[in-house]
């Protein structure tokens, strides 16, 4: 397969290194996050923490601004969910714990959850927060303590805080260093997409 790839060896090595640290079992679910600044900042943090899969429920295409993501969204796999309930049930059946976020009576502090388990972190709409459906399906709802006058954090900040707690826990048990968490076939497919198909597409669009 490698002879087909259209990137220089250093770039290929970097892609392989990034893939060796991707955490396919740490996922995000964006429930109607509508502001493109927020979505873009979330995707950039997701890439930094080693998330690979981001699920979203949105009326339109996910609003992304390349200047804010710095291209990070291109290294993630985005899954559009047609329906919140089915999207979450599918992930639950696949063995993921569903971690909702927000300030509700039933919440626990975000550090109390074990994020080394297969986990989906669900964040909600900028004004309305997560829906009743998410609250019903979530295994746990976490809150980040608030000590100020304002009731909640910006959604991208909240996502970053929780993702970096997940990163801390996963790093402590070696999940970034134990070698690829993806199968050789998955790595090969992603590399084919990143280093061949996308390069051709970018060339055709005059991006490179």
Please give the residue ranges that form the binding site for ligand SAM (CB under 6 A). Answer: 101-103, 123-124, 126, 129-130, 143-144, 146, 152-153, 155, 158
Minimum CB distance to ligand SAM smaller for 87 or for 102: 102
Smallest distance from ligand SAM to CB 152, Å: 4
User: Position of tokens 């100020």?
Assistant: 148
Contacts of 124 (CB under 8 A, 6+ apart): 31, 32, 33, 100, 101, 102, 130, 131, 134, 155
Structure tokens belonging to residue 208: 């490179």
Minimum CB distance to ligand SAM smaller for 91 or for 144: 144
Smallest distance from ligand SAM to CB 153, Å: 4
Minimum CB distance to ligand SAM smaller for 130 or for 175: 130
Give the Cα separation of 30 and 180 in Å (integer). Answer: 26
Give the Cα separation of 71 and 68 in Å (integer). Answer: 8
- Secondary structure (3-state) at 94: coil
Residue 23 is classified by DSSP as B
179: burial class by Cβ within 10 Å (0-12, 13-18, 19+)?
exposed
Minimum CB distance to ligand SAM smaller for 61 or for 132: 132
Smallest distance from ligand SAM to CB 101, Å: 4
Smallest distance from ligand SAM to CB 127, Å: 6
């Amino acid at each position: 397969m490698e002879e087909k790839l259209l990137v220089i060896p250093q770039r290929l090595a970097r892609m392989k290194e990034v893939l060796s640290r991707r955490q396919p079992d740490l996922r995000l679910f964006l429930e109607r996050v509508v502001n493109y600044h927020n979505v873009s900042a979330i995707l950039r943090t997701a890439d930094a923490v080693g998330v690979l899969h981001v699920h979203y429920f949105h009326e339109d295409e996910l609003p992304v601004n390349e200047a804010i993501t710095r291209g990070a969204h291109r290294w993630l796999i985005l899954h559009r969910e047609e329906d919140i309930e089915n999207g979450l049930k599918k992930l639950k059946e696949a063995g993921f714990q569903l971690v909702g976020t927000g300030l509700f009576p039933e919440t626990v502090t975000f550090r109390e959850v074990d994020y080394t388990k297969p986990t989906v972190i669900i964040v909600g709409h900028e004004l309305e927060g997560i829906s009743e459906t998410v609250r019903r399906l979530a295994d746990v709802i976490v809150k980040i303590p608030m000590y100020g006058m304002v009731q909640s954090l910006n959604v991208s900040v909240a996502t970053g805080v929780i993702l970096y707690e997940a990163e801390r826990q996963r790093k402590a048990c070696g999940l970034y260093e134990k070698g690829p968490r993806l199968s050789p076939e998955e790595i090969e497919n992603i590399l084919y997409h990143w280093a061949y198909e996308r390069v051709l597409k970018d060339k055709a669009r005059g991006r490179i």
